[in-house]
Structure 1
């Protein structure tokens, strides 16, 4: 996953199982090539399985477990049961007609994280967008898309927001550049409603919003938007996602993720404190 676009949509469970397969292979003293030879596949297939970039074919997994020295049938059956569960499509699969693979991965990680942190310099992140605001953003970003596709993508975006309504929702901690709040998007009433939505979000115990004011000057994340995901499963590393015009790059190597985390920590220290956010938003809303 590190440094490249994700293929398919890895779930947290699939990432855990891939990591476990890597540990078993290394404990058995086998190389990628040796494991691949046993399955009569390329070494790249083994790499992709371990990085959760492809689905876990149950016959392949069973054979690998035996090659790696797992002899307890109960342990094998339990692993295979988890592999089947990990291969089940998420709720967003019904939007696959409009959902690119790189963003399927994003929605999967977003759905399974227990902490989501982000910096956004351009527009309100999807988890807090109103329907009208989301429609305006998608139309601007996809000027040639038919109306039906935009409607499907808006519906997907609204569906993603249900993660914040779960019994145990993730912590959502966002740093928004002041530009996000002052750039006109849609009719003025669209922006007023969107800022009202953000004000409502500040009252939620699992949402923290901070505004990076113009007056703060330069900061460590001038390069663009990014997200950090943390998961409840201790076997999973944190994952950073940096979007670009045609996709996204996902990073899970410690040094890479640490660079994103340090930048965000510095920005949180520079940005207006959380307790000031509601007043800032209310002031901007009055100006629209």
Structure 2
């Protein structure tokens, strides 16, 4: 996963199966070209399947498994069943009217991750936003959006937040710049309610929130926000970094790239306020918000 705005945003399972196909091909000692000849397609088709850039056509998958020496019917059927599931749209598909294709992959990764680490210098992360704060952020970022589109986007954001209270939720670990708390969004009442939500989040066992105060000075990630996703149940998936821009996003999974972001987060986590001091800091900020 490396480019913003893919033709069809992959689900996590499609990424996993693509990597499994790559492993089976390499184990069989076949090149892209040799695998492609078994399907009478170009080598680019095989590469795109392995990179999860296209859907998994079941006849293609079945033929590839045979080519790679997978002959046990139960193994083939299990793989094909997973491929059918991977091709089904995720729950977020019903929000496709307001959900950019490049962000669909983010929602899929978010729902499958065991650990979500993030640095946010501008806004409260979406998983911790109140509805009113989310409305204000969305209106600022999409001034041409209709009221209905904004409300649909808020509903999507609210539904995403359910993963924090589900059974076996991920650990959300956020380093948030003090700027986030000082930037007035939606008015005093909205900001007070949002800070209350952050204080509440500090008591959740699967949320680790740290504030990077101005007094801490410069830090390794002053260039912009990012997320790092880690997966336990899908060992084929490496850690994935998500970087967003105004018109799309980039997903990085190369080891050296990801390591740079992980190291930045580790250094910032050591530099930012620890969680118990963050809660006290949030309480002081709330008291400063004028009615």
Distance 1:160 1:65, change over 3 A: same
The 8 Å contact of residues 18 and 51 in structure 2, kept in 1 or not, is answered as: yes
Q: Distance in 2 between matches of 1:43 and 1:146?
A: 44
1:43 to partner: Cα distance: 2.3
Written as runs of structure 1 = structure 2, the 5 A alignment for 1:89-128 is 89-128=89-128
| Corresponding residue number in structure 2 for 1:77 | 77
Written as runs of structure 1 = structure 2, the 5 A alignment for 1:8-87 is 8-87=8-87
The 8 Å contact of residues 36 and 46 in structure 2, kept in 1 or not, is answered as: yes
1:168 to partner: Cα distance: 0.8
| Corresponding residue number in structure 2 for 1:189 | 189
1:41 to partner: Cα distance: 2.6
Q: Distance in 2 between matches of 1:189 and 1:45?
A: 53
Please say if 1:215 is aligned against 2:184: no
The 8 Å contact of residues 17 and 83 in structure 2, kept in 1 or not, is answered as: yes
| Corresponding residue number in structure 2 for 1:247 | 248
What SS is found at the alignment partner of 1:93?
helix
Q: Distance in 2 between matches of 1:252 and 1:23?
A: 17
**Structure 2 gap segments, 5+ residues each:** none
Q: Distance in 1 between matches of 2:213 and 2:205?
A: 23
Q: Distance in 2 between matches of 1:127 and 1:7?
A: 26
Q: Deviations over 1:117-149 (max 9, x none)?
A: 000000001000000000000000001111111
Aligned length, in residue pairs: 288
1:29 to partner: Cα distance: 2.0
Q: Distance in 2 between matches of 1:24 and 1:44?
A: 17
Q: Distance in 2 between matches of 1:97 and 1:54?
A: 21
Q: Distance in 1 between matches of 2:40 and 2:152?
A: 41
Distance 1:214 1:6, change over 3 A: farther
**Structure 1 gap segments, 5+ residues each:** none
TM-score by length of 2: 0.96
Q: Distance in 2 between matches of 1:10 and 1:98?
A: 17
Q: Deviations over 1:51-78 (max 9, x none)?
A: 1222211111001111112111221111
1:25 to partner: Cα distance: 1.0
1:35 to partner: Cα distance: 1.9
What SS is found at the alignment partner of 1:174?
strand
| Corresponding residue number in structure 2 for 1:152 | 152
1:45 to partner: Cα distance: 2.1
What SS is found at the alignment partner of 1:173?
strand
